[in-house]
Structure 1
Amino acid sequence: MKIAIEAQRIFRCDKHGMDFVVLEVLRELQKQKDGNMYYILVAPGEDCCLEESENLKIIELHCPTYPLWEQVALPRIVSQLKVDLLHCTSNTAPLWCNVPLVLTLHDIIYLEPRQHRSPSLYQEMGWHYRRLVVPRILKKCKKIITVSNFECTRIREALHLPKEQVTAVYNGYNTHFTPKDILDWNVIQKYIPKDNFLFFLGNTDPKKNAARTLKAYSLYLKVSTLKRPLLIADLKEAYIDKLLQQEGITEIKEYLYYPGYIANQDLASLYNAAFAFLYPSLRESFGIPMLEAMACGTPIITSNTSAIPEVAGEGAILINPLDPQEIADAILQLENDDSFYQQQSAYGLKRVKQFSWRYTAEAYVQIYNSILNKS
């Protein structure tokens, strides 16, 4: 079979969640001996992180904007290649396509009510684009893949789709996330001068709960004798200052480190150096960073909402993300109870064994086969 897979953003330098999902699955598909030929459709970029192989060909499509890339260039090349199936991996797809379509719909957060606009113009435009396109393509999809049973149910109920059209396929995590006996200080000190810090991976998306996380950290500092610093990824100083002023906690800024974007290859060193990983999101369809931290043996503090308990499991520290005091208390419990800390570290290492990119890739191939064998 000839399978086209949309991976538009994987060559950009500042990759994020969905980019890493498709990149890791493609690497696993290269290892498969399934007889398929995979055509990977990408936009040009500086980080050529995937190489061609016997069963995988990379095709770069040049286009000035994402909507034109997806709605014009993508269906045109699919038609020229005469592929058997197109898999779009990042929530949206062409409104017109002449082959069976598979869509990975990571979540439908953008179809749910929101409290305010995104502070990022890029995110705001993307929100409007998805709201316009997604409802119009769903009925054309032979299969919709999402990343958790929670999100699977949400999509079926919210969009009134048949049960058999939507299926859950779990994400995995990269195997370079593993416990390290010796820390790489050259990497760590690019971001923070010492280890045993608290680590928060956020961005300007309101669902990441940055304001309450900072409030929780301020409550922690009032009680802790160690006063561990907080490393914050993906937030700029101006935005952090705004949140600190909003919460009335500007005095904690001296304990914060905010280097901005952290390269994926550096994350394993930082997870290993961290005392704990904070992931108190309001809403997640999966949550790969939880797996990465747990795979490094770092305890996580995360939310009791959405798909997070499904992924983290019942043995994880699950808090109410709307309650900063509960977040602070969880940090203090880890800090003051070494037995509990070691228990959480061991739990995470055991839990992540249930997830693998190989499992994800194998599930994708089964879906491709089921669609084309019926055609």
Structure 2
Amino acid sequence: MATPLPPPPADLAPAVPGQVAPTRRPLRIGIEAQRLFRPHKHGMDIVALELIRNLQQLDQHNEYFIFVKPDEDHAVLKATPNFHIVEVPGGPYPYWEQVLLPRAAREAGVHLLHCTSNTAPLRAGVPLVLTLHDIIYLEPLDLRRGSWYQRIGNLYRRWNVPRVMPLCERVLTVSAFEQARIVQRLPGPDGQVQVVYNSAGEQFRPITDQAALAAAKARYALPDRFIFFLANTDPKKNLRGVLQALALLKKQGQLSFQLVMLDYAETALAALLRELDAPELRAHIQLCGYVPNQELPLIYNLAEVFLYPSLRESFGIPILEAMACGTPVITSNTSSMPEVAGDAALLVDPFKPETIADAILRLQNDPTERAALVARGLQRVQHFSWRETARQVRRVYEEVVEASSVPKAR
């Protein structure tokens, strides 16, 4: 049940030059998190959830209005005295974002609106902050093999992002790599695009509870030895390259493990194996369905290696999740992944399956290198913090509202 909205106060009064400013009134901050209540959460949903939870812990002064679409998982976020959950029912996402969201923001009397998932309304009526996770959909990657849902979403982003960028007071992105791509492709005022890193949730850590690990292994029917790979139908995740690497290992007689994949359809896997003429690999792949985010640390802890050889990422939260769990990581030497992984992962060329296969063999055959990567990974993940993310984002809110309340020179 959404909490009743408190009435909006009068506009913020600009500070008078030369005078001591009075105690600042609380800001009224709107955050779009439309998919927060859906049962199966991924990427951008997790980022929005972690940001809001950490803002709740950090900020008891300002008022927040979290705009969501009604769905099943109400338990994921609870209202607090200064955090109001506003359920905005409606139709398809473009209509919800372009029509219903601005209306709800106006009714709440917010001083700014932060849209967290790459797109934003063209007529928000208040200063806009946009989290632009990536602009992959503007690049000439082969997106034709993605699902219809992904392709339609990319079409909307291709239409919206170039139009909404000039309307944003601040654009947040998640890596220096992505910042450079955005500035190159969509140039704007100096300082408009700011890097705010993601992190891994506190639940990702080494687990020593053998009973809990054994229960998870039984619950998901996990094999004794496996490599963990987070796949979906997006071509950038590089399942094709991973399967080609497995085929090389099988040909060499070195495929002594199972590949565990989550939330991937049997029909999609079968089609790709037919395309690669490699049906024999199916016996080496375990499909586990959807695993809730709170259960993922158990899977990471049970895995021998975490495999993340994407063709392109703007950040790569799973890299940090695996490191935080003490699992050695193989990831790509492209885009943002070296920026996130540092020296704490084996980096491979994702366009060359033989390099993926070689990295797997190295970690299987060299326990010293495995242990070194685990130690460096646990150290590396300490450089990232959702609390610091929330602190930086709150400062952006304050700067944007302050700038918008100062009279413009005529």
TM-score under structure 1 length normalisation: 0.97
- Tell me, what secondary structure is at the counterpart of 2:133? coil
2:342 to 285, 299, 313: 313
Distance 1:224 1:21 in 2: 41
Alignment check: 8 A CA contact 2:343 2:376 kept? no
Q: What is the total number of aligned residue pairs between the two structures?
A: 375
2:207 to 160, 166, 180: 180
Which residue matches 2:178? 151
Distance 1:118 1:13 in 2: 25
Higher mean C-alpha displacement, 38-47 vs 241-250: 241-250
Distance 1:2 1:130 in 2: 27
Which residue matches 2:13? none
Distance 2:132 2:350 in 1: 24
Give matches, 1:317-356, under 5 Å.
317-356=346-385
Per-residue CA deviations over 1:279-310 (Å, capped at 9, x if unaligned) read: 00000000001110010000010000000000
Change (3 A) 1:172 1:122: same
Higher mean C-alpha displacement, 140-149 vs 61-70: 61-70
Mark the structure with the bigger radius of gyration. 2
Which residue matches 1:255? 284
Question: Does structure 1 residue 296 correspond to structure 2 residue 325?
Answer: yes
TM-score under structure 2 length normalisation: 0.89
Report the AA paired with residue 167 of structure 1. Answer: Q
Change (3 A) 1:82 1:366: same
Alignment check: 8 A CA contact 1:224 1:332 kept? no
Which residue matches 2:270? 241
1:366 to 362, 370, 395: 395
Change (3 A) 1:368 1:116: closer
Alignment check: 8 A CA contact 1:84 1:372 kept? yes
Compute the displacement of 1:314 (Å): 2.9
Any stretches of 5+ residues in structure 1 without a counterpart? Answer: none
Distance 2:223 2:260 in 1: 10
Alignment check: 8 A CA contact 1:195 1:275 kept? no
Which residue matches 1:88? 115
- Tell me, what secondary structure is at the counterpart of 2:150? helix
Any stretches of 5+ residues in structure 2 without a counterpart? Answer: 1-26, 405-410
Compute the displacement of 1:191 (Å): 2.5
Higher mean C-alpha displacement, 223-232 vs 63-72: 223-232
Distance 1:162 1:243 in 2: 44
Distance 1:338 1:199 in 2: 18
- Tell me, what secondary structure is at the counterpart of 1:58? strand
Aligned-pair identity in percent equals: 49
Higher mean C-alpha displacement, 190-199 vs 164-173: 190-199
Change (3 A) 1:284 1:116: closer
Change (3 A) 1:242 1:120: same
Compute the displacement of 1:178 (Å): 0.4
- Tell me, what secondary structure is at the counterpart of 1:198? strand
